[in-house]
């Protein structure tokens, strides 16, 4: 016969991982796992105590009661696994401790969020909090912070303070990388424009070999064979740092012209080499302008480099 949806005399199994061992066909609780003792009418004093599973045979668990005598009554070690704190209990008197449930879940699920106690709502809130991922804007904010803290041009571009006169490539690559991350179109930090100016200013300054040398002199970073590359002058030419008040399009245009200037140096070598041409008659453009014209079908690019 049945009563209330369950067979007469059969205690319904509560839901939850702590009671999984009670379900038909379930595996027994493993050795050394921690349980809570519940509903032992013959020995009510052990109810709600913590136990450790030491054995299982014929449906009965051998349980060591860890704190039978109350606080301070913890029973350690296998050497004393005998006496009054050892109990034989059926599955229905045992509930897997919530921390043991979580420990088992952590072992089974790689990268699982740790859940210690709490009701369903609290656990859901914790899971939501721990599932949060870093806002991409945080990276932009960190970039702004680093640039604002920089105290010289090498630090702004996050490159080693050394002489780059023989190869300006690292300066250009650093500028391109950092300017993308700090560009006000992507970076919504209120000081992004100021940082963009500062990054460009560092780029233009270090691309000037004399200014690069002067900064290294001040920083004490010149090597012995670099000290005499330039000479200090009684009155150095005042630098017009126009970018301090420039807007973003103006800076982008000038950066493109600097890139274009590299092509001008190459073009001068080739055009003046027996062609009778003059580099001053050739109109040069930066990469951004070239790409814009190409997209509008107003320019084509021919790769003439030697392979």
- Do 169 and 220 fall within a single domain? yes
The C-alpha atoms of residue 157 and residue 143 are separated, in whole angstroms, by 11
CA distances from 301 to 26, 67, 265 (A): 72, 83, 18
Answer yes or no: is 121 within a domain: no
- Do 154 and 240 fall within a single domain? yes
Q: What is the CATH number of the domain that holds 51?
A: 2.30.30
- Do 181 and 251 fall within a single domain? yes
In the structure, what pLDDT confidence band is assigned to residue 278 with cuts at 50, 70 and 90?
low
pLDDT tens per residue, range 18-44: 899 999 989 999 999 999 999 999 999
Answer yes or no: is 99 within a domain: yes
Answer yes or no: is 189 within a domain: yes
Of the listed ranges 68-72, 218-222, 269-273, the least confidently predicted one is 269-273
The C-alpha atoms of residue 89 and residue 86 are separated, in whole angstroms, by 10
Angle formed at CA 230 by CA 225 and CA 235, multiple of 5 degrees: 145
- Do 172 and 248 fall within a single domain? yes
In the structure, what pLDDT confidence band is assigned to residue 109 with cuts at 50, 70 and 90?
confident
Q: What is the CATH number of the domain that holds 147?
A: 1.10.287.110
Most confident of 132-146, 147-161, 179-193, 288-302: 147-161
Crossing angle of helices 248-271 and 287-295, rounded to 10°: 90
Answer yes or no: is 3 within a domain: no
- Do 172 and 99 fall within a single domain? no
Number of separate domains in the chain: 3
Between 125 and 179, the higher pLDDT residue: 179
Answer yes or no: is 286 within a domain: yes
- Do 276 and 252 fall within a single domain? no
The parent domain of residue 292 ranges over 271-301
Answer yes or no: is 101 within a domain: yes
Task: State residue 265's pLDDT score.
Answer: 43
pTM of the model: 0.47
pLDDT tens per residue, range 237-266: 667 788 888 899 898 888 887 766 554 444
- Do 252 and 297 fall within a single domain? no
Please state, as a whole number, how many other Cβ atoms lie within 10 Å of the Cβ of residue 289: 17
Render the burial of 9-43: b for 16+ CB within 10 Å, e for the rest: eeeebeeeebbebbeeeeeebeeebbbbbeebeee
pLDDT tens per residue, range 145-182: 999 999 899 999 999 999 999 999 999 999 999 998 88
Answer yes or no: is 266 within a domain: no
- Do 251 and 167 fall within a single domain? yes
- Do 57 and 145 fall within a single domain? no
- Do 171 and 229 fall within a single domain? yes
Answer yes or no: is 245 within a domain: yes
- Do 231 and 277 fall within a single domain? no
User: Considering the chain, what is the average pLDDT of its residues?
Assistant: 79
- Do 200 and 276 fall within a single domain? no
Name the H helices within 109-191. Answer: 120-130, 136-149, 153-156, 169-182
Q: Collapse the DSSP code of 182 into the 3-class scheme (helix H, G, I; strand E, B; otherwise coil) and give the result.
A: helix
**Average pLDDT value for residue range 53-67:** 91
Between 150 and 302, the higher pLDDT residue: 150
158: alpha, beta or left? (left if phi > 0; alpha if psi -120 to 50): left
Task: State residue 163's pLDDT score.
Answer: 96
Of the listed ranges 24-28, 80-84, 198-202, the least confidently predicted one is 80-84
């Amino acid at each position: 016969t049945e009563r209330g949806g369950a067979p007469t005399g059969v205690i319904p199994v509560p839901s939850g991982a702590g009671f999984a061992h009670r379900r038909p066909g379930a595996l027994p609780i493993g050795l050394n796992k921690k349980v809570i003792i519940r509903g032992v009418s013959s020995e009510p004093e052990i109810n709600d105590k913590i136990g450790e599973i030491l054995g299982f045979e014929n449906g009965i668990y051998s349980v060591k009661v860890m704190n039978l005598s109350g606080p301070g009554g913890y029973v350690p070690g296998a050497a004393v696994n005998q006496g009054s704190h050892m109990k034989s209990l059926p599955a229905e008197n045992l509930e897997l401790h919530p921390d043991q449930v979580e420990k088992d879940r952590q072992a089974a699920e790689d990268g699982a969020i740790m859940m210690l106690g709490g009701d369903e709502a609290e656990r859901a809130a914790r899971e939501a909090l721990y599932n949060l991922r870093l806002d991409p804007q945080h990276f932009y904010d960190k970039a702004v912070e680093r640039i604002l803290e920089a105290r010289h041009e090498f630090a702004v571009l996050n490159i080693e303070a050394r002489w780059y006169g023989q190869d300006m490539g690292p300066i250009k690559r650093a500028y391109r990388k950092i300017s993308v991350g700090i560009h006000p179109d992507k970076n919504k930090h209120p000081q992004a424009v100021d940082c963009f100016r500062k990054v460009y200013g560092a780029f233009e300054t270090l691309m000037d070999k004399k200014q690069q040398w002067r900064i290294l002199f001040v920083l004490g970073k010149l090597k012995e064979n670099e000290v005499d590359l330039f000479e200090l002058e009684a009155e150095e030419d005042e630098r017009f740092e126009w970018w301090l008040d420039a807007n973003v399009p103006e800076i982008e245009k000038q950066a493109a012209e600097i890139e274009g200037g590299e092509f001008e140096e190459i073009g001068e070598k080739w055009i003046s080499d027996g062609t009778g041409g003059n580099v001053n008659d050739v109109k040069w453009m930066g990469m951004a302008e070239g790409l814009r014209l190409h997209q509008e079908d107003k320019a084509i690019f021919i790769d003439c480099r030697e392979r």
